[in-house]
C-alpha cells in the first residue's frame, strides 16, 4: 500500500520513472535526438549516435544497409547491438578504407553483445594498433562475418583482437583478413579470450619478405591463455608468409597455454607448423590439442601438421596431443608431425621410431571421402572407439557435427573431430 501511494505521488508531481527503451538505426531515419532514437521514424543514421544513448540492458536495432564509418564505433556499455533482420549479409559495417583509416569497432563491457553483422574494410595502420575489424576487451561477438580487414606494421589480429576472460567470439566467420607482419591475420586471442563454433578461413599475410621479426599464426594466434578453449571450429586454407620466412603456424599458433578442441585444421600453409605450431616459454606452460583432425597442411621447412620447435627448456613437451588424427600433412623435406610434442591415443604418420607418447597408430584413418574433404570416419576406420574419455566430455560435450562426444554404448570416444555414428545418428541420453 505504501509503495502504491509513493508511485501515485511521483506521477502526480510530474516525475517520470525511467524505463528501458530500445534504440533504432536506419539509413532512412530522421535523427530525432530529442526522442533519443526510440522509434524507427526518428532513427539515427549513424550507429554510434544510438549507442551513446542506449542504457544497460537495452537493444540497439540496426536496419538493413551498409553503414560507412568515419571513425570506429566504440561501445563501453552493457547493451545489445543487433541487426534487425538477423541476417549478417543484410547489415554491413564498412570501415570505409581508404577514405578513412580506422578499425570498425571497439567493444569493452562484459555484458555487451554484438550480433548479426558483416564487419569489413577496417584498417589499423599505425604501429602496435591491433584488431583491424574488431578490438574486444570485454563482450561477446556473435553470428558475425568479419572479412576484408587489415592490420599493418607491428599490429596483430587482422580481423579481430580479443583480450581477457570476458571476451568471447562465437558462431562467427573470420574470412579473408590480412596482416602485414606479426601475429594472426584472422584473430589474435590474448590472456584467456574465448572462441567457439567459428570458421577461420583464407586469412593471410600480405608481405612475403618480412624483416624485423617472425610471423605467428595465419588463422589464429593464442598467447598466455591457459583458460582459452578454441572449440568446434573449422580452420581452413590460411596462409602465413612466403616460402623462406620464419613463420610459425599456418592455421594456429599457440604460446604458453590454450586448448584446441574438436577442430578441423585443413589446408593451411606456413614455413614451420603448417597446421599448428606450439611453443612454451620458461617456465613451461603447455598447450593442448584434443580430438582434432589435422590434415593436408603444408610447411616449407618442417612439421607440416604439428610443429613445436621450442619447449622452454623442457625438451619433452610443449604441446600435449590427445585423441587426434594428424594425417597427410607434408613439407619439402618429407612428412612431419612434431617437434617437442607428446601424443596419446592418436594417429600420427610416423615411420620407424615412434614419437613420444602411447597408444599410437600410423594406419590410414579411412575417412569417408578424403579427396572430397569429408573427414568423418567410415565404419572400418581404426580411429573408432580407441580414444580416451577426458573430464570435459562428461558435461554433454559434442563433436564438430553437434553429436555426443562419447559413445554411450561403448563408453568410448573416437579420434578426431567427428564421432562415428553407425546408424547415422547418436542420441544424448538424459
pLDDT tens digits along 90-144:
999 999 998 888 899 999 999 999 999 999 999 987 766 899 999 999 999 999 9
Cα distance between residue 152 and residue 131, in whole Å: 10
Question: Could you tell me the CA-to-CA distances from 301 to 236, 249, 296, 335, 336 in Å, in that order?
Answer: 20, 12, 15, 11, 10
* Lowest mean pLDDT, pick from 16-30, 332-346, 366-380: 332-346
Q: What pLDDT is stored for residue 15 in this prediction?
A: 33
Q: What pLDDT is stored for residue 205 in this prediction?
A: 81
- Who has greater pLDDT, 430 or 111? 111
* Lowest mean pLDDT, pick from 50-64, 134-148, 350-364: 350-364
Do residues 82 and 75 touch, judged by C-beta distance below 8 A? no
How many C-beta neighbours within 10 Å does residue 86 have?
11
Do residues 199 and 187 touch, judged by C-beta distance below 8 A? no
Q: What pLDDT is stored for residue 338 in this prediction?
A: 57
Do residues 102 and 69 touch, judged by C-beta distance below 8 A? yes
Do residues 399 and 291 touch, judged by C-beta distance below 8 A? yes
Residues forming a β-bridge with 235: 200, 265
Phi-psi region of 321 (alpha: psi -120 to 50; beta: other; left: phi over 0): beta
Q: Element (H or E) spanning 120, and its range? A: strand 118-120
Question: Could you tell me the CA-to-CA distances from 61 to 3, 112, 118, 319 in Å, in that order?
Answer: 34, 14, 15, 44
Q: Which residues contact 145 (CB under 8 A, 6 or more apart)?
A: 88, 89, 117, 118, 119, 120, 172, 173, 175
Q: What pLDDT is stored for residue 16 in this prediction?
A: 35
**Residue of 21, 59, 29, 64 lying closest to 46 (CA atoms):** 29
Q: Which residue has the cell 598466455?
A: 224
Mean pLDDT calculated for residue range 375-390: 95
Q: What pLDDT is stored for residue 12 in this prediction?
A: 33
Residues forming a β-bridge with 179: 151, 205
Q: List alpha helices for 289-349, DSSP H.
A: none
Q: What pLDDT is stored for residue 271 in this prediction?
A: 83
Q: What pLDDT is stored for residue 13 in this prediction?
A: 33
Q: Which residue has the cell 558435461?
A: 395
Confidence of residue 244 (pLDDT cuts 50, 70, 90): low
Q: Is the pLDDT of residue 273 over 90?
A: no
Mean pLDDT calculated for residue range 274-282: 85
Confidence of residue 425 (pLDDT cuts 50, 70, 90): very low
Do residues 221 and 201 touch, judged by C-beta distance below 8 A? no
**pTM for this entry:** 0.90
pLDDT tens digit string along 303-343? Answer: 888 887 765 555 556 888 999 999 999 886 655 555 577 88
Handedness of CA 72, 76, 77, 78 (dihedral sign): positive
pLDDT tens digit string along 160-174? Answer: 999 999 999 999 999
**Span between the terminal Cα atoms of the chain, in Å:** 47
Mean pLDDT of the chain: 86
* Lowest mean pLDDT, pick from 41-55, 72-86, 303-317, 410-424: 303-317
Q: Is the pLDDT of residue 276 over 80?
A: yes
Of the chain, the percentage scoring pLDDT greater than 90 comes to: 60
Of the chain, the percentage scoring pLDDT greater than 70 comes to: 83
Do residues 174 and 186 touch, judged by C-beta distance below 8 A? yes
Q: What pLDDT is stored for residue 4 in this prediction?
A: 41
Q: What pLDDT is stored for residue 20 in this prediction?
A: 58
**Helices and strands in the chain, H and E counts:** 2, 41
pLDDT tens digit string along 172-207? Answer: 999 999 987 767 899 999 999 999 999 999 998 865
Residue 96 main-chain phi, psi, to 5 deg: 70, 25
Question: Could you tell me the CA-to-CA distances from 313 to 216, 284, 309, 354 in Å, in that order?
Answer: 21, 8, 11, 22
Q: Is the pLDDT of residue 42 over 50?
A: yes
Amino acid at each position: 500500500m505504501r509503495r502504491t501511494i509513493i508511485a501515485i505521488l511521483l506521477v502526480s508531481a510530474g516525475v517520470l520513472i525511467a524505463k528501458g527503451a530500445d534504440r533504432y538505426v536506419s539509413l532512412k531515419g530522421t535523427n530525432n535526438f530529442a526522442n533519443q532514437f526510440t522509434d524507427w521514424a526518428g532513427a539515427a543514421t549513424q550507429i554510434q549516435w544510438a549507442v551513446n544513448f542506449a542504457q544497460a540492458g537495452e537493444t540497439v536495432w540496426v536496419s538493413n544497409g551498409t553503414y560507412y564509418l568515419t571513425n570506429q564505433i566504440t561501445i563501453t556499455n552493457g547493451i545489445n547491438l543487433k541487426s534487425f533482420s538477423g541476417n549478417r549479409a543484410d547489415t554491413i559495417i564498412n570501415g570505409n578504407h581508404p577514405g578513412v583509416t580506422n578499425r570498425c569497432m571497439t567493444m569493452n563491457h562484459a555484458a555487451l553483445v554484438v550480433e548479426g553483422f558483416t564487419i569489413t574494410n577496417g584498417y589499423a595502420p599505425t604501429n602496435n594498433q591491433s584488431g583491424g575489424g574488431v578490438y574486444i576487451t570485454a563482450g561477446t561477438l556473435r553470428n558475425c562475418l568479419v572479412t576484408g580487414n587489415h592490420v599493418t606494421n607491428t599490429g596483430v589480429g587482422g580481423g579481430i583482437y580479443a583480450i581477457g576472460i570476458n571476451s568471447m567470439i562465437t558462431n562467427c566467420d573470420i574470412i579473408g583478413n590480412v596482416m602485414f607482419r606479426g601475429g594472426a591475420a584472422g584473430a589474435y586471442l590474448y590472456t584467456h579470450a574465448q572462441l567457439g563454433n567459428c570458421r577461420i578461413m583464407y586469412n593471410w599475410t600480405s608481405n612475403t619478405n618480412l624483416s624485423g621479426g617472425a610471423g605467428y599464426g595465419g588463422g589464429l594466434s593464442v598467447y598466455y591463455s591457459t583458460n582459452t578453449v578454441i572449440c568446434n571450429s573449422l580452420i581452413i586454407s590460411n596462409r602465413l608468409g612466403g616460402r623462406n620466412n620464419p613463420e610459425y603456424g599456418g592455421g594456429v599458433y599457440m604460446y604458453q597455454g590454450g586448448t584446441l578442441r574438436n577442430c578441423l585444421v585443413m589446408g593451411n600453409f606456413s614455413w614451420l607448423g603448417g597446421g599448428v605450431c606450439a611453443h612454451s616459454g620458461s617456465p613451461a606452460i603447455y598447450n593442448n590439442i584434443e580430438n582434432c583432425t589435422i590434415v593436408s597442411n603444408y610447411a616449407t621447412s618442417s612439421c607440416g601438421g604439428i610443429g613445436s620447435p621450442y619447449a622452454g627448456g623442457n625438451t619433452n613437451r610443449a604441446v600435449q596431443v590427445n585423441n587426434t588424427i594428424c594425417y597427410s600433412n607434408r613439407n619439402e623435406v618429407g612428412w612431419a608431425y612434431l617437434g617437442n610434442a607428446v601424443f596419446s591415443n592418436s594417429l600420427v604418420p610416423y615411420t620407424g621410431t615412434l614419437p613420444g607418447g602411447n597408444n599410437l597408430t600410423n594406419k590410414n584413418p579411412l575417412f569417408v571421402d578424403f579427396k572430397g574433404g569429408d573427414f568423418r570416419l567410415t565404419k572400418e576406420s581404426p580411429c573408432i572407439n580407441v580414444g580416451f574419455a577426458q573430464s570435459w566430455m562428461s558435461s554433454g560435450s559434442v563433436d564438430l557435427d553437434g553429436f555426443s562426444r562419447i559413445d554411450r554404448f561403448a563408453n568410448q570416444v573416437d579420434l578426431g573431430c567427428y564421432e562415428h555414428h553407425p546408424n547415422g545418428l547418436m542420441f544424448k541420453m538424459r
